């Protein structure tokens, strides 16, 4: 797999996640759906998807020498702290909902394989709230054989 192949496979996996929360793929223009969730009158959860590739190292693909590219996926989960429910909506604990959303994403990515790309255990990392947003980082390490 080339570096661009790795990125495409991981972005496709993110697109397959069944949640309906807007996603900003790192390096792209911020989508309107993310702008609306982040800055709109009725703020809503949104995600930022980041892929970090590390230096390649020697590895084996089947019985041949090859290149192994390690890396990690970080999904930054943003959940509004002070969202007031609409009439008739149940009140929610936004810190819990942020953690729950992160758990769902972790299950989607951990211990998954496509071709020569394999993901490992996923962490759900607490991040201090900032600017009225609860935060979690969902971090998954992976290896891709090239």
SS3 for 53-114 is ECCCEEEEECCEEEEEEEEEEEEEEEEECCCCCCCCCCCCCHHHHHHHHHHHHHHHHCCCEE
Structure tokens belonging to residue 24: 């900003």
Taking the whole predicted model, whether its pTM rises above 0.75 is answered as: yes
Q: Mean per-residue pLDDT for 46-59? A: 91
Would you say domain 3-145 falls under CATH 3.30.2000.20? Answer: yes
pLDDT in tens, 124-136: 999 999 889 999 9
Q: Residue 83 — pLDDT band, cuts 50, 70, 90?
A: low
Q: How many CB atoms lie within 10 A of CB 41?
A: 5
What is d(CA 106, CA 99) in angstroms, rounded to the nearest whole number?
10
Per-domain residue ranges of the chain:
3-145
Token digits for 111? Answer: 């211990």
Q: Would you mind telling me the total number of residues written for the chain in this entry?
A: 146
Q: H helices of 110-146, where?
A: none
Mean pLDDT of 92-118: 94
Residues 66, 145: contact at Cβ < 8 Å? yes
Q: Phi first, then psi: give them for residue 9, nearest 5 degrees.
A: -65, -45
Given a cut of 70, whether residue 138 has pLDDT beyond it is: yes
């Amino acid at each position: 797999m080339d570096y661009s192949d790795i990125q495409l496979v991981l972005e496709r996996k993110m697109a397959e996640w069944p949640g309906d929360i807007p996603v900003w793929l790192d390096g792209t223009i911020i989508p309107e759906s993310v702008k609306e969730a982040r800055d709109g009158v009725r703020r809503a959860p949104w995600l930022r998807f980041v892929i970090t590739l590390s230096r390649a190292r020697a590895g084996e693909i089947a019985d041949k020498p090859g290149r192994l590219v390690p890396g990690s996926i970080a999904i930054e989960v943003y959940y509004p702290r002070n969202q007031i429910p609409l009439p008739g909506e149940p009140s929610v604990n936004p810190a819990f909902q942020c953690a729950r959303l992160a758990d769902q994403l972790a299950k989607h990515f951990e211990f998954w394989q496509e071709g020569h790309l394999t993901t490992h255990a996923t962490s759900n990392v607490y991040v201090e709230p900032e600017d009225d947003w609860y935060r979690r980082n969902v971090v998954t390490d992976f290896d891709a054989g090239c």
